[in-house]
Chains A and B, each alone.
Chain A
């Protein structure tokens, strides 16, 4: 009976267009949007110099030696492949304004003096952010130059004191992926696993006479409620595991997101995460509450948990880490994304083990509760 039920329940889950659509399409669309959003950063990193202009508006600024120094500093700022990051052209204030209006340049620097330069931009985006970061770096470097000259340092000594910042990416302390935006994709995978809460939420309503007509049919049958429940649970979990693997495959193989770490362990983590989510859904579904209330609770854990783990706003997790770290310890989405993070940064370690243990303990508790709750008994009302 179990295998027949399992097979039929897998069919039921796979053919549930709404569920499958939501669970597969949503993470893939969100992943693609993330990629499109962050993709511009990667594009900038690899190829395009940012078009900009320089306007010299003082006598000091028009001196050829200073001009050479300024252009030399800006020209030294390059991408990893050696391409200059900024492509500057000299312009009058009016011409620079026109170029900016016509969006031929992303912004222009106005040089008031060697140590006083300002940036004019019309919009806020990644390119203007980089121009702004360059300006900050330039001002810092010019300060060093001015102080160095005052101290009588040689040109080489001054150059060595100057810093050319990494304006577009951060460097991780360890691990395989050096991409700071990968955390968003960790959260996405975590949310994809947690969607199994929605799938397994319907298991109890379908086997309880007081909850649905299908439940009546199941309770009227001689079939063991526990066997029916476990078959439905396993089917929901297996289908959702496949969905998480499809999403993972899409991110790794299609979008080429570098998760770092061991792929086998990443897959194992998604499997355990999905299993945990399935048991949470099972436990929520067993509560004697209105279906709409149960669905709200499930949504709160899935989407709310995703939000708290930084899916929509990356810094929120760190704010909680400072003030209410317990939230990050118990929020399934945070625990799951932490597991991926530890896999990437530390190749596992204590943090990863904690996450895995937490997920397994939660799964065992909720699954046991589900099994206990799934006995047949007469209801007071239907």
Chain B
């Protein structure tokens, strides 16, 4: 069984009346890309801050690399790399100097540090920008610099707190590829996001958080299997009568039918030929439609079914 890198037990954090973390538990194994998924305010960043001892907590325990984590545990901090939600670099230092500065907090040997900084610059593909000041970088490049500053010292545990917020799709893909690469090189990753596609793409295990605690845990497939929904048949059409909607509800394995905004959503549980059955129903009743397709449930469906609400606000 893989070694536990981070263990959080019954963590409680209160801000006066507000309970930010309510008996939160985590058990993250070595080599995992562990996703913390949840809407804004669900407690993801608070959990990370408590794990890192930036925040004090009311009760519970946090262990990192099998040892109790405390603010003054520099030996443990040396093995951790953190990429924060907000970019934190010096505007007055160049790309190279910034990475070197933060790397110097971990690595004292100059030659080793130089090598690590070069590798970090290569890794985030900022070679052409090494002499640029942060203010001259685009949002995506700035995020990449932020990542380089957090991982240059080659940590065993890397915590990335929503590193792709406000990043263009191209840079986002680069960042996600980089995270996968870091994991391949042996780092354990904790990745927080409210972008379910990202979490689905890179995480080996996911904890969905809501109201300061985990509400579901498992691999992406395991999470999907936990819910009733196994397939969504989606039909784009102008209109459909209530009588026909009732007819659709009678089809085998269909458990929910909703029509809104020219879009008919038919949720199915089990069954292998659901789309065929729907097509047969349309033919039989001479119902016209523009397009019909089938989708497997997403993490959003998992979240929706567990909590009754969307994982993130519509953008």
Chain A residues close to B by CB (< 8 Å) = 1, 4-5, 8, 11-13, 15-16, 209, 212-214, 216-224, 228, 375-382
Contact = CB atoms under 8 A, between A and B. Distances in A.
Given A8-B97, A8-B101, A382-B49, A222 B74 contact: yes
Nearest to B46: A382
B82 A220 contact: yes
A217 B71 contact: no
Given A8-B93, A216-B54, A221-B102, A376 B72 contact: yes
Interface of B: 15, 49, 52-56, 71-72, 74-75, 77-78, 80, 82, 84, 86-90, 92-93, 97, 100-102, 104-106, 108, 110, 149-150
Among A8, A217, A223, find the residue whose CB has the most chain B CB atoms closer than 10 A.
A217
Given A217-B88, A222-B106, A11 B71 contact: no
Contacts of A379: 54-56
Contacts of B89: 214
Contacts of B71: 219, 376-378
Contacts of A223: 74, 104-106
Contacts of B149: 217
Contacts of A4: 100-101, 104, 110
A24 to B, nearest CB: 16
Contact of A216 (B77, B78, B88, B110): B88
Contacts of A13: 92
Contacts of B56: 378-380
Given A216-B88, A381-B15, A221 B106 contact: yes
B84 A222 contact: no
A4 B55 CA distance: 29
Contacts of B84: 213, 216-217
Contacts of A377: 71-72
Nearest to B104: A4
A240 to B, nearest CB: 16
A382 B104 contact: no
Contacts of A213: 84, 86-88
B133 to A, nearest CB: 8
A224 B88 CA distance: 19
B54 A214 contact: no
Top-8 shortest CB links A-B:
A213-B88, A221-B105, A222-B74, A223-B105, A15-B92, A378-B56, A222-B78, A222-B77
Contacts, number: 88
A378 B55 contact: yes
Contacts of B53: 378
Nearest to A17: B92
A71 B296 CA distance: 112
Nearest to B53: A378
Contacts of A5: 101, 104
A220 B92 contact: no
Contact of B90 (A214, A222, A375, A381): A214
Contacts of A1: 104-105, 108
A381 B54 CA distance: 9
Among A220, A377, A380, find the residue whose CB has the most chain B CB atoms closer than 10 A.
A220
A11 B93 contact: yes
Contacts of B97: 8, 11
B61 to A, nearest CB: 14
Given A4-B104, A382-B55, A220 B77 contact: yes
A66 to B, nearest CB: 75
Contacts of B150: 217
A382 B106 contact: no
Nearest to B69: A378
B54 A378 contact: yes
Given A213-B87, A377-B71, A378-B56, A12 B92 contact: yes
A5 B105 CA distance: 8
A19 B105 CA distance: 25
Given A216-B82, A223-B74, A380-B56, 8 more contacts: A11-B93, A213-B86, A214-B90, A220-B77, A223-B104, A223-B105, A378-B71, A379-B56
A16 B102 contact: no
Nearest to A228: B105
A222 B69 CA distance: 13
A16 B90 CA distance: 10
29 contacts: A1-B104, A1-B105, A4-B101, A8-B90, A8-B93, A8-B97, A8-B104, A12-B90, A12-B92, A13-B92, A214-B89, A216-B84, A217-B150, A218-B105, A220-B77, A220-B82, A221-B77, A221-B105, A222-B105, A223-B104, A223-B106, A228-B105, A375-B72, A377-B71, A378-B54, A381-B55, A382-B49, A382-B54, A382-B55
B102 A222 contact: no
A375 B104 CA distance: 19
Contacts of A214: 88-90
A220 B80 contact: yes
A267 to B, nearest CB: 28
A150 B77 CA distance: 98
A209 B54 CA distance: 7
Nearest to A213: B88
A214 to B, nearest CB: 5
A193 to B, nearest CB: 23
Nearest to B107: A1
Contacts of B106: 221-223
